[in-house]
Each structure stands twice: as structure tokens, then as C-alpha cells.
Amino acid sequence: MMTMTCMECVEKLQPFLDRELSNGERVEVERHLAVCGHCADSFRFEAGILHVVGRCGRTTFASEEFKARIRVVVQTAIADPK
């Protein structure tokens, strides 16, 4: 069995949090997080953000103007990733 690198683990954190990984990939990420403090810290940070965003989304609604501004920022970032 190949050991997952930190770069591979970090790349899979969002799909892991979104429950989009296969069982095998999920187990690999869990094993890596169990032995790598740096990646475990990254996981806790990302999970915390997801939790806060999820809580905010239940009670706060963005105006259409704000959503449009966010779309422009995201589309600009995608078009010019620097």
C-alpha cells in the first residue's frame, strides 16, 4: 500500500468533507490525518469553516446584489488564477 503524501491529503480535504470520496480514498485520508498533525490541523480548520458557513447559511440571506458581486469576484479569480 502506498502512503498518502501531505499534498495528496490536502487536495482531498474538500471532497472528504463533502463526502465525495470512495471508501478507499476516505480510509486513506483518515489514516493520513491520524498520523500527520499538520494535515489534521488543516482538516480541523476546513471543517470549522464549513461548520460556520453552514450555520450562517441557515439564518442569513445574501442580497441579489451581493451574490452578483461575489460571482464577479469568483469568475475573475477563475479566469486569472495568478
Averaged confidence pLDDT in the chain: 88
- Residues 36, 10: contact at Cβ < 8 Å? no
* pLDDT recorded at residue 53: 80
Q: pLDDT tens digits, residue range 61-80?
A: 778 899 999 999 988 888 77
SS3 assignment for 45-77? HHHHHHHHHHHHHHHCCCCHHHHHHHHHHHHHH
Q: pLDDT tens digits, residue range 27-44?
A: 999 999 999 999 999 999
* pLDDT recorded at residue 81: 63
Q: Does domain 6-79 bear CATH number 3.30.310? A: no
